[in-house]
Structure 1
Amino acid sequence: MRYISPIIIGLLYVLLMSLVPEAHRRRLNAVMVAGAGAAYLSGGGLGGWEFAFTVVATYVAYRGLDSWTFIGIGWLLHTAWDIVHHLKGHPIVPFAHDSSFGCALCDPVIALWCFRGGREPWKWLRGRTAPMSFRESAGHPSVQAARTPRSKQ
């Protein structure tokens, strides 16, 4: 469960964020990556480096307001910071020794989703990026096969 739970948490994050309307999803995720960048500020154990990382994460999150790629980069930067804290600093959750390790497994799941454009996972499964329009559906093979020929009157 040490390895599986963080991945499940990352997948749950993706599913829940996919429920946010697309018009607001990217900006909300930029705010989330900014918050993650400041998560270790009050006790990460790496002194001034905590502030330096927060500055970098804030810049990346700001760029993420207009770019899913920068949000994904932000999550990968946080993954690296989690690994540093797991090895040298304090855990992200003080009473859970392996919490930074778990976060380092969860964050790449979210980053992958961001690099894919933050789309709803069910659209990945269908292989479509947007719902079919009426005009597009008329030429779709499944629609053509369902049509019955009209008889001449």
Structure 2
Amino acid sequence: MTVVLPILIGLAYAVLMSLIPEPHRRRFNAIMVGGAGAAYLSGGGLGGWEFPFTALVAYCAFRGLESWTFIGIAWLLHTGWDILHHLKGSPIIPFAGDSSFGCAVCDPVIALWCFWGGPSLISLVRTWITRPHTTDAVSPASPPG
């Protein structure tokens, strides 16, 4: 459950973000990852290193206003920061000891969705459900003639 729940949270995040139309979805996600970059500032336990990390993620978030790739990079940077906090710092949620580990599992799920271009998962599922499915592996050949 320590791994499954964070993966489900990452997927739920992508599904909920799918409710926001583009280009607002990308911009909103840039703001979200910018905020995530500052999550440890008030007591993450890595001292002054919290500030340059926050600045780096803020830069990626700014670039993410126009680029899903930069948003994905910022989420992966946050993943690394979560791992450091799990091993050496303080958890992201003070009363949940493994919360930084969970965040380190969740964030790459979100990053993959971002690298995919942050598509609406709801629209993808609707398209998949409504498109005609065939059971034939090979399309039939045209009749001889």
TM-score relative to the length of structure 1? 0.80
Q: What's the CA shift string for 1:17-75, capped at 9, x where partnerless?
A: 00001120000000000000000000000110001100101001000000000000000
1 CA distance for matches of 2:127 and 2:79? 29
Count of aligned residue pairs for this structure pair: 129
Identity %: 70
One-letter code of the match for 1:119? Answer: P
TM-score relative to the length of structure 2? 0.84
2 CA distance for matches of 1:121 and 1:77? 24
Displacement after TM superposition at 1:127 (Å): 7.9
User: What residue is the counterpart of 1:43 in the other structure?
Assistant: 43
Q: What's the CA shift string for 1:83-115, capped at 9, x where partnerless?
A: 000000000000000000000000000000000
User: What residue is the counterpart of 1:72 in the other structure?
Assistant: 72
2 CA distance for matches of 1:23 and 1:92? 30
Q: After TM superposition, list the pairs within 5 Å mapping 1:12-91 onto structure 2.
A: 12-91=12-91
Displacement after TM superposition at 1:125 (Å): 5.3
User: What residue is the counterpart of 1:150 in the other structure?
Assistant: none
User: Unpaired segments of 5 or more residues in structure 1?
Assistant: 129-153
2 CA distance for matches of 1:17 and 1:123? 12
One-letter code of the match for 2:120? Answer: E
Determine which structure has more spread, i.e. the larger CA radius of gyration.
1
